[in-house]
Structure formats: C-alpha cells, structure tokens
Structure 1
C-alpha cells in the first residue's frame, strides 16, 4: 500500500497522517476519484471567475479563519530549577519565523510543496497531476500545497469531500492575499506534527537531534542540510497508519522508508538550488538521538505537592495572566518551593509517612497541614495541605482553580494570642501587668481556663496573674480583658497587619480585613472579645503569613508561591522574564516589642517538651479549640529565625474529637508540636542551617498600665532560713515548699535559661527534674507529670469549634 494521499495536510487537529483513512472498497475509491476531479474542476472554475458554482458569491461567502494561537506546554519549576509540573497536552515551542534557519524552511518546502514560492496557494499543475494519477491508479494523491494544509488546519476542516476541498482552496487563496509566503510557512512550521509527541519544528529538532532551529547557520550546533531533510521528510506521515499498514517516515520506526523520503527531499533541494552538488554528493544520513523519556519523575501528578498548583494559578491571576492566556502555553513558572523543605513538610504531616506523628491517626477522620515560610522573604518553602492534590486544601481551603475559598478555615485557638500580644505591646502594655482571673464578663459568665480551679492558676495567684505567665501557660482571661480594654478592633488590626486577610464570623462569609475596618468588625454578629484567643476561623496559610511576621521581628513579607515567570518571546523565540518577585518588607510592629514577645515565646517549646535538636533556639505558641466537649482544632506555630512553621491538626472533612494514639485528648502541644518539631529539625539538618538566635530581649511597656485589672502581688515575708544541708533535705523546705523556689535541686523555679541571656526566675514550679519529686498539674496539654509543667490551652472550653 502507498502512504497517505493527504500530503502534509492532516484531517485531524494535530496533523497526524492517515488516521482518517478508511479501508476503501472499489466503489468508494471510484467515488473518491470522481470527487477529487470534481473539486479540481470547481477550483479551476473559481480561479477563472466564471460559472455559477465558482462565482464571486461563493468566494466571498467563505470566511478567512481567525488567527490561530498554537498551544504550548507550560512548565512549573521548583526553586532549584527541577520540574514540579508540566501542563499541556502538546510538546510544542513556538518560534518566530524570521529566526528559523533557512535550510530548515527550504527542506520542508522541498519535501512538501516544491512550487510553494511559485503558486498563489493552489498548485494547479499538482491538482491535475494528482487527479489523473488517482483516476488511473491506486496511488492516491491529495495535491495539497503548504498553504492549503495550513488552511485546512486553521479552519478546522474535516473530511475529504468536494465541499471541504473547495473551501480549503478558497481559504488558501485568501491566506495568500493577506500574508506573505514566509509568514504562512512560519505558521505551518509551528503547527505540524512530526512524531514522538513533537509538535512544531522546534520540538522536533530538539527531539531528534537535540538542536534548535533558531541556531544561526554556520554556528556550532546549527541544523545541517541533512538533518533538516530528515525533519522535513517525516511530515508526510509521522506515524504508522493501521488502516493502510504504512509505517510512516519516522526514522526510529521505519528507517528505510524514512531514508528513501530523505533522498527525495535532498534531490528536490538540489534541483531548487538550495544545496550545492558537493553537499548533495557527500550526503550521509545523520545520527538520530535516542528517544528521551518524557515522563517527569519529579512532577506533581497525584502527589501532595500538586496542591501547590492551585496557589500558582491564583497568583498568576493576580499578576493579570488570565487562564486563557496561560493555557496557550509557553510559560515557565519558577516557584518558591524548596524540594528539601517540601519533603520535610510531607514526611512530618502525611499519614503515609511512617515517621510522621500522623501515621497512627485515622486517615479518613484526621488531617494535618504543615506550612514553612522563609520569614525574611515571604517565600513559601514547603506546603503540605493533604495527600490528594485535587481534594480539600487543608492548608488554606482555596478552591481547586485558585479562586476563593471552598471552606471556612479553622479556629486558631490560643495560637491567635500572638496577635493580641502584638496589639497589647503597641498599647504600651507590659508583660509584667497583672490580671484578675476571677473577674466575670459583663453578662455575668466566667472566663473559663480548661477547667482548672483558681488554686491551679498562676500558682494560686489568680487575682494577680502576670501577662508573661499567662502567655506561657495560655490562660484566657488576660487576653479577653486586653481586647475589652483596648478594643477588639485593635486586636483584629494587629492580626491584619501581621498577615491575616480574612476572618470568618460564627456565621456567613469571611470578612476581608484588608477592605474593612472597625466600623464593620465591631458590628453585631461579627466579632466579640473572644477574637483575642482564637474563636473565629482563619485560613492556615494566612495564619502562617502572620506567624512569619512575628518570627521576623515585626517585618512583614507577603507569603507567595511564585518567584519568577518567563514566557517565550514571539520576536526572539527565547525565554524572557515577564515578572520577578521583589522583596517588599514592611515594618508593622516595633522591633523592641517583638524582641519582648520573642523572649516570652522562646520559653514555650521547653515548657511543652519540644526543644529542637542541638539546643537550637526557637519560639512557639500552641492553640486548641473545643469541639463536642473535647478538642476540635489543634495548632503549634512559631519557628526559628530562618523558618516560620505553622502546623494544624483537625478533622478531615467533618470535625471530630481529636485523640492521641494512646487515647488521651489531643492538644496543641501534643501531636501538632511533635509535627512542628520534626519538620523544623529535618529542614535545619537538610539545609545545614546556622544556629541563629532571636534579638536580645528589650522589656517594654508600663507594668502599671491602666488596662490591667489584677491586684498587685504581695511580696512574701522575709524569712531567715538555716543553711540547706543538701538537696531536698531542708526541713523548712519540706514543710513549706512554696518558700523554697529552688526546691533544693536545679533552679527550675522558672529559672531556665531561655536563650535570652536571662535567668527569668518567674517563680513557677515547673515540675521538672531536681524539684524534689514529680508534680502533677491539670495542664490541659497532656504534659501532666515531670515535663516542665506543660502549656495550658485554656481557650478550648470557651466555646467555638
């Protein structure tokens, strides 16, 4: 059987040869011959301008198709340049016609339409010759010129009947009237299919020879005449046709037929004077490169990292690169995602990771989110929002197309107290201010603190509990009264400045904090003072942005996933940067205030038993919010100077009561803190991070601020104690342990060295080693014995969920 009679013109959109060919019966063959002759005659009539069928009415009725934009691949890269995702169905790179090596164009014309530069879109000699050959033999020919082939593709003409051939001819003539020959040829070269998944001449040159058609003649690695002839010879039929049995002209699949076609092309090039007799005589079939494995081994398909694509789409839209424009392709997007940080996030937060604290949780019921941000730049380095990239994004609840939210976020609980503290420090409130835990709300209700009795709070000093102790142990009442005294709008304002852009009221849509102010926030039905300890839902990603601002000592860098966008220039054919992320740090909190806050938060990891490897300094805050009498949302947030880390654990879909693997109730300093610790340790090791420290503490604020409502603590009477004969052996200490803060052992009465160079001596008995035994606290954080007292997420009993 002979090859496809359709020449270079595919009947299908991608230009594959012979796919529409049917096994023809003798009757069908005869009918086809008649149709081709009729079409040829009709075209001739049109060209002569006579007859009813070929009148100007028909010619004018056929519209010229709109310019067709070829689709190219888009490539999404990790920060290190490795491929994260490949988007698009066609491996195509558009190249400007004027930059294509002339020898490539000459080879294609020689192979497909030798008279291209001499006809006006229709080769009448070719039509007559093809019609006669079709009539007298089985060697079916289509006689389509390059212009006709492109006309058929551009107008999306199907089938092989007379009407299609007639319209194809008319469009070809109109194309020749509108465009120069070189323009038509350039469009053709960018659309043709050349086998092995290569669309367009540039993709084919890269595929078969690892060369570019844009390399100037005479330059190193420029396409040779022999290589150009190989590419041109494939066009006629790039793949095997199961209907005809012809294997096509791909040299990897059908070498002898490909070589015969190659000789034909070179002979035509010689005849047209496009190669010299010497070049022709020295012909040698060039080496074809092995077929490259196009499978992307680092790509995001069906992997957790695929969740990042919806954030890429959202940011592209914000950059005014529309989805339609992006789908045309040709873009290379470099993300901020560091593969090592991403791996650490997934291994820390995914059920599928055997080393993850989530491994023993019920995958269908409990889910985690892990977000790592470079606080100095805002780059999102690692993002784990679930194992299914097309499912719920637990890291932000953003829709799959990146437009808006598909959920209501989660209650941050006590982790939101970092914003209340930032607001309080702005108002000159000191960590030494005291607060009264017995004071009730205006409606007479108590502010609960995880069910602890007054004697359990602040070592029995519930009426004069200082803000620092309240922060470390996560009591609620000072935060409620701070919001009440300075205004809850000040708390929301601080959260907004740090990075929270949306906040959900108990019912209804999220409130855009960047487009509203106190006049909205203080309205009935929006937010009450409980905003100070995390009742209202937030997006984990936005919360992570706020956490990064606190870690960065009050300087905000907007969190982002895209670092650079490049596009192929239509003029040069080269990648050009169309957008580059630029650092825009904004100081939103005073450095002294943040050093003060950091020093207090730096005490929390030790309190909850989550110190990092090697004594690396960190700062943190836990958070838990109630659901159904237990915990429904658990958080651990904070980080080190080089990495802000935010971890959430909650229900996968519907809320559930969160339990630890041992059956105990989960709190922020439990599984979330373990995930946080594992994540930061892994990143610090993988990136070989220096042990940076937060700035030395500067204590700010007025200890006697008028907003504080606690009683002044009464100093204990001075008592002259006899010398302590040994650890834990002083009889007075045994009888009145409260009078011996050091308790005869190591200085654990709050005197831990917190990395700020101060022995803080806040007088707490932390139940640690050297305290004369084990002390039990109803701490609400699962650290009831001998681990430093644990943190208390008192917020969880105050409703919400």
Structure 2
C-alpha cells in the first residue's frame, strides 16, 4: 500500500471514530440525563403518592393493646400481675415532664418540630436491609411508635415503606403528646416489661409517676439495647456503654434547655434493683385477686373488661395482717394435720375473713391451702352452714322487735328459758324439738347462759317467740345473703342456711360498729386508662339500734369469758364472739371481734373428689371438731398479732340490760345427758330437767353461769320436724382450760 492510500485509510478511520463519539454524545447529553432524572423523580413521587393513598393507618396490632392487671396491697406494694403481657398503659399526666424529655433527648431531639419521619435514616435502613447489613437505627419517635403499635418488628423493605407512610399520616392526625405517650407505653425495656409503668416497677420498684430524672434517663438509654444495657447482667463493656448513653441523654437535655446544668452536674448514675420474678397466683394471692375481681364485677365492671387488662387495682388488704393470718392457720391447724397420711385430715379446709369494723375494709383473707391447689375460696364460699354463729342474730331480732315470750314477758339478757333437750317449741305451726349437745338438759337458764352454752332448745323457742320472718329480716339487714335454704322456720335458729366467712364477718362487724351496716370491701381503688371505678361505700345506714347491737356485744363477751369461746379469751384485748358447729361436724366456726377488728374463721369438711361435705370429727386426732377448738385458737393467734400483741381498746357499750345472776336449778330430777364425745367436754354442775310448769321466759332467780358446758348441735330441718334430731349431730363443746392443749395457766396459748 502506498503512502497516499495509507493516509486515506487513516482519515476514514478517524471519521468513523469521530462519528461514533458524536453519536454517543448525541444520545447521552446532559439535557437528556437531567430529563431522565426528573422523570425518575416524578415517577418515584407519583409512586410514593400512590402508596400514600393506598396504605391506610391500620388498627393496633394485637400485642400492642395487651396489658396486665396490677394488684397491690393497701400500702402500694405489688401483690400480683395477671395477663400475658406485663404492661400497664399510663397517660403523660402520670409521667414527670423531665422524664418525658429524657426520652426525647435520647431518641429524637427534633421530635416536637419534625414531620414524624427521618427520610435519610429510613433510606439508610432500606439500603442496609436490601444489602443484608441488618437492623439500622435512625427512626424518629413517631416511626418507632408506628412500628410498635401498628406494625411488627420484621426487617423488610415493604414494612419500612409502610412505616414511613403511616408515620406521616399519624403525625398529621395525632398530637405529639399522644404519639409520645404511645411510644413510652409500647416500647420494650427488657425484664419482660412493656411500657414505662412496667419498666419503672421492674427496674426501680416504683410507679412511673415517681421516677427521678436520673432513673428516666437510664430507662431512655436502655431502649437502645435492653438486654445488653441491663445493669445487673451487663458485661463491663455493656455497663460502660449504657453509662455513656446515660450521660449522652442528660447532656442533650441540658443542650435543649430541659435540664439545669448545675442540677446535671450533681447527678449520679441510678443503679437499678436486681430483677424480681413477677408474683404469681400461688398461695393466698389467687384468692385475693379473685375476691377483688368479683367485687369489681358486683360494681358493674364487665368481666371481659377486667380480663382484657390495663387495670391497677389496690386492695384494702394489710400486708402484715395478711401474713399473720396465714401464719396463724399454719401454726394452729396445718402444722397439726397429716394431709397425706390421714383420711380425715386430707378433707379439712380452712377459711377466714378479717374486717376493720370502722371502715369495712377487708384487711386479711384466708382462702385455703393455696389457689393453685384448691381453687374454690373457703373465705367466700356459701355452701356450708354457719350453725350457732346465727344465734346472736336471733337475740338481736328479739331485742330490736321488743319481742315477748309465749307468756308475755319481754325478751332480754336475763329472760329465763327452759333449757330442756328435745323440748317441743310452743306457739309454732311447725313442730320442732331440737336436741341439745349430748342430749343435755339444763333446767331454767337465762338468755346469757343459753348463749354461753349455745343451748339449742332456748333459741328454737326464741325464734318462735320473735317470729321466723322477723328474724330473717334482721339477718338480711345485718348482711346475710338470702337463699333457698334460708327457710322461715324454727330450725332456722340453728343456722341451717348457707353463709361464708365474708358474710359473717360483715354481720359481726355491724354488731361491732354499733348497728351501722358494714359491707366488707376489698377494693380500695381501681383505675384504668379509660375509666376509674369509685369503690362502694362499705359503711351503710343504721340497720339495728345501737342499744340492740351493744347488748348483743355485751352478751357475746360472756361467751368468750365464760362460754364456748374461751379459747379466744386473754387479758391482752377485750373480745366478743360466738362458736358454731354444724350437723355431723361438717363445719366449725368462730366469729369474734374486738373494738378494732372483726374476724370469722371456719373449718369445712370437704371430699373434693366426690364433691361432698364430710365430718370434721377426728381432725388432727382431736376427737369432735367444734368452733371452740381450732377456729377459736386460729382467731386468737391471729388477733393477738394483728393488734400488735394486744390492745387497751374497750367496747363502748350502751346496753338495754346487764346480765344478772343465774336462777337456781331444780333438784327434783336428775339431768339427762349422754356421755361426752370429746375429752375436753368437762361436765358442768348437775342440772335437772324442769317440771312441766317451767317457764319459757321470765326473770332470773339466782346462781351465776359457769363456763364448762358443752355447746349444742345444729341440724337442718327434716321432713318430720317434730322428730328429734339425729343424736349423732354435734355442736360447740366448750374447751376446758385444765385439759385443753390450747391453754396454759388458764389462758390461751399465744
């Protein structure tokens, strides 16, 4: 090839290269690139707008609205929490303002000014999600709230885009305070605590409203890495990091002028308490929680609202007295039972309710061996007979109605009745002839002594004299509950209806409160973020006169001093009370009170497998069970401790009549009695059956009552009411201070 041809070839190649470069420049001009960018932006904006329109603000996710109920003792300490999620939602009005600001300083200083999103942080999070770099921070408080409340914790591009859109909408629709409150209540703080209230309790043992700035700053710092930053389990590196973040939070608060620099300089790191397991429902806890829930339901709160959670319920229960009641049952009963090896002992159930008669507050409650072992509360069940604890109500009705005996004498403390066993009642259309304990006859006795000895025949006649309808009305006025078994008949005098220790504690507290109605209440306060329940007023109107109530109290002090309730007697306090033992010893009761405390203790024989009531006879190898035994000793042990070792308080009584001397017994015939079934049933001085002309009522003649008499059985009315009750029925045998192991030197064991 010549030089000319080579030059022409080079020129043709240059022209082709120049043409090629010109074509590329024509295709990728800056104008076209800029136009493409704008088109892309417009398409992106259009797409985002479409997404904005199409993505709604959803309803809250199921986990976000779950809450626990928090139950507290009267002093504010935690009794229990119930529910799947440990969360109690609180409003910003319950959280100190500096604590709120600590969270804003930690997470999103521009929270009060921004539009609810951090586009740069969100973009970074999307990129890291796509590239597999994992979780990335940078979200605003609004975005974190949206993630917690509306969405879930998944790390996907679609979830992050939804978070962005919903955050913009939420910021427009909700106030900053609403968003901040939602964030504080939905965030997870570690230790199983969701929300700032649960976190405050978990880390510092206080409600959110009592958090200090230092504590609030720690909780705010904790949110970045709850497990790593939990001080009690953190590594040295973790402690260093959380301390640095705590300082960062406080410094930001100073920078934003939310915290005074001088105050900041004096702050020390607030080490949290060690983790504590959330209280469960074992032991007495379940019974207390159930009683509180039932009271709220009675006050009109639907059960489903309670189970949905979110309640803070403070009980009236005194933590110290609750502990003392449990210890009294353990010491006086459970320590003596062989539940695994003895058939009778395995059936014994104990229940008790203790009430402050001045306020009506339930200060202690014993529901059984444990709510997880025996689900039915023995404190509130009404399927057992209260037996002779009903007799004071018969007397109260007689006094309140100014009733008279069959021969026209006014019934009072000193009215004389015929205490013959199996004596048919007079003046009743329904025949009834109850048997006294051990079929024992007493001759003429005053009402005071009849109460001391719990003589069935006397009170069967008295209820006829008063009128069963009037007695039932008095009982209902005092606080007993009506039922099909509450039949207006002479047998009602033996307490054959159903009742609970809760009911009877209210009845005896009303007597203690001089006749002003006491309805036991266990709820001190109940609050929810959406509502609050005003507790019912436990103290009601005057249901019987003060003189009636005080006269009954005076009579019942005799039962404790000289009658079947001597196991409750001590010089450490003044007490009134009544024993009760139902037919065949299926239940045994002691209902008693001091000027400051009314408490009812009962034992029930229950075959849980068969669902039947069984006899308590042979409990702890003690022979016949009775109200003057285990129940009275539990009552005395608890009351002594509950009153701080004793009390100088005395009953302030305005009585209708003071007990006088006992009438002389007739010696014309010997007393008829079967042998005592219990070693502690020491016989009293002999008393013979009165003659046919013995009065059903009258005035006393002589002889003071003594205290060693066994007390009578009680039984349900039978279809043949005139027939004598089953002689195997039992009553309330008194306890002998000489032979009874519950006594030392004529005084009950302390």
Q: Does 1:695 align with 2:653?
A: yes
Q: Does 1:680 align with 2:636?
A: no
Q: Distance in 2 between matches of 1:60 and 1:538?
A: 63
Out of 551, 574, 585, the position equivalent to 1:596 is: 551
8 Å CA contact 1:62–1:167 kept in 2: the answer is no
Q: Which residue of 1 aligns with 2:613?
A: 655
- How many angstroms does 1:67 deviate by? 9.8
Q: Distance in 2 between matches of 1:267 and 1:471?
A: 76
The unaligned stretches of length 5 or more in structure 1 are 1-42, 240-246, 399-407, 506-520, 571-576, 700-755, 767-773
Q: How many residues align?
A: 628
8 Å CA contact 1:378–1:559 kept in 2: the answer is yes
Q: Does 1:448 align with 2:434?
A: yes
The secondary structure found in structure 1 opposite 2:592 is: strand
Q: 1:621 to 1:109 in 2, by over 3 A?
A: closer
- TM-score with structure 2 setting the length: 0.69
The secondary structure found in structure 1 opposite 2:571 is: helix
Out of 398, 413, 418, the position equivalent to 1:424 is: 398
Cα-to-partner distance string for 1:192-230 (whole Å, 9 max, x where unaligned) = 2233455445766787799999899xxxx6459xx84x6
Q: Which deviates the most, 200-209 or 164-173?
A: 200-209
Q: Does 1:439 align with 2:443?
A: no
- TM-score with structure 1 setting the length: 0.65
Q: Distance in 2 between matches of 1:589 and 1:62?
A: 65
Cα-to-partner distance string for 1:382-433 (whole Å, 9 max, x where unaligned) = 22121212434443445xxxxxxxxx52111222112121122223231415
Out of 460, 482, 487, the position equivalent to 1:480 is: 460
Q: Distance in 2 between matches of 1:534 and 1:268?
A: 68
Q: Does 1:96 align with 2:76?
A: no
Q: Distance in 2 between matches of 1:414 and 1:266?
A: 70
Q: 1:295 to 1:137 in 2, by over 3 A?
A: closer
Q: Which residue of 2 aligns with 1:235?
A: 223
Out of 41, 53, 57, the position equivalent to 1:59 is: 53
Equivalent residue runs for 1:613-692 within 5 Å: 613-614=570-571, 616-626=573-583, 630-652=584-606, 653=608, 654-660=612-618, 661-662=620-621, 664-684=623-643, 686=644, 688-692=646-650
Q: Distance in 2 between matches of 1:622 and 1:595?
A: 19
Q: Which residue of 1 aligns with 2:514?
A: 553
- How many angstroms does 1:251 deviate by? 9.8
Q: 1:789 to 1:327 in 2, by over 3 A?
A: closer
8 Å CA contact 2:314–2:526 kept in 1: the answer is yes
8 Å CA contact 2:187–2:194 kept in 1: the answer is yes
Q: Distance in 1 between matches of 2:600 and 2:328?
A: 12
Q: Distance in 1 between matches of 2:708 and 2:331?
A: 29
Q: 1:546 to 1:272 in 2, by over 3 A?
A: closer
Q: Which residue of 2 aligns with 1:531?
A: 492
Q: Which residue of 2 aligns with 1:795?
A: 714
Equivalent residue runs for 1:2-21 within 5 Å: none
Q: Which residue of 1 aligns with 2:383?
A: 409
Out of 570, 577, 586, the position equivalent to 2:541 is: 586
Cα-to-partner distance string for 1:85-109 (whole Å, 9 max, x where unaligned) = 3456436663518963375254234
Q: 1:206 to 1:597 in 2, by over 3 A?
A: closer
- How many angstroms does 1:499 deviate by? 0.9
8 Å CA contact 1:305–1:389 kept in 2: the answer is yes
Q: Does 1:157 align with 2:141?
A: no
Q: Distance in 2 between matches of 1:261 and 1:676?
A: 53
Q: Distance in 1 between matches of 2:417 and 2:192?
A: 72
Q: 1:558 to 1:255 in 2, by over 3 A?
A: same
Q: Which residue of 2 aligns with 1:760?
A: 661
Cα-to-partner distance string for 1:434-487 (whole Å, 9 max, x where unaligned) = 45863368789651314755xx4123x5xxx65444333323334334444543
8 Å CA contact 1:209–1:289 kept in 2: the answer is no
8 Å CA contact 2:102–2:253 kept in 1: the answer is no
Q: 1:778 to 1:691 in 2, by over 3 A?
A: farther
Q: Distance in 2 between matches of 1:232 and 1:133?
A: 25
The secondary structure found in structure 2 opposite 1:193 is: coil
More helix by share: 2
8 Å CA contact 2:481–2:503 kept in 1: the answer is yes
Q: 1:416 to 1:168 in 2, by over 3 A?
A: same
Q: Which residue of 1 aligns with 2:407?
A: none
Q: 1:650 to 1:321 in 2, by over 3 A?
A: closer
Q: Does 1:395 align with 2:378?
A: yes
Q: Does 1:379 align with 2:361?
A: yes
Q: 1:260 to 1:664 in 2, by over 3 A?
A: closer
Cα-to-partner distance string for 1:118-149 (whole Å, 9 max, x where unaligned) = 76445444444445556678476476544333
8 Å CA contact 1:780–1:791 kept in 2: the answer is no
Q: Distance in 2 between matches of 1:387 and 1:593?
A: 38
Q: Which residue of 2 aligns with 1:108?
A: 106
Cα-to-partner distance string for 1:623-647 (whole Å, 9 max, x where unaligned) = 2222xxx321222223222222222
- How many angstroms does 1:183 deviate by? 4.0
Q: Which residue of 2 aligns with 1:48?
A: 45
- How many angstroms does 1:72 deviate by? 6.1
Q: Which residue of 2 aligns with 1:148?
A: 143
Cα-to-partner distance string for 1:510-543 (whole Å, 9 max, x where unaligned) = xxxxxxxxxxx7xxxx553322221121222112
The secondary structure found in structure 1 opposite 2:581 is: strand
The secondary structure found in structure 1 opposite 2:185 is: helix
Q: 1:66 to 1:760 in 2, by over 3 A?
A: same
Out of 479, 484, 509, the position equivalent to 1:499 is: 479
- How many angstroms does 1:365 deviate by? 0.7
Q: Which residue of 2 aligns with 1:457?
A: 441
The secondary structure found in structure 2 opposite 1:622 is: strand
8 Å CA contact 1:305–1:383 kept in 2: the answer is no
Q: Which residue of 2 aligns with 1:741?
A: none
Q: Does 1:188 align with 2:183?
A: yes
Q: Distance in 2 between matches of 1:691 and 1:265?
A: 55
Q: Which deviates the most, 314-323 or 532-541?
A: 314-323
The secondary structure found in structure 2 opposite 1:388 is: coil
Equivalent residue runs for 1:568-583 within 5 Å: 579=534
Q: Which residue of 2 aligns with 1:176?
A: 171
The secondary structure found in structure 2 opposite 1:343 is: helix
Q: Determine which structure has more spread, i.e. the larger CA radius of gyration.
A: 2
The secondary structure found in structure 1 opposite 2:613 is: coil
8 Å CA contact 1:238–1:249 kept in 2: the answer is yes
Q: Which residue of 2 aligns with 1:783?
A: 681
Equivalent residue runs for 1:216-231 within 5 Å: 222-223=213-214, 228=217
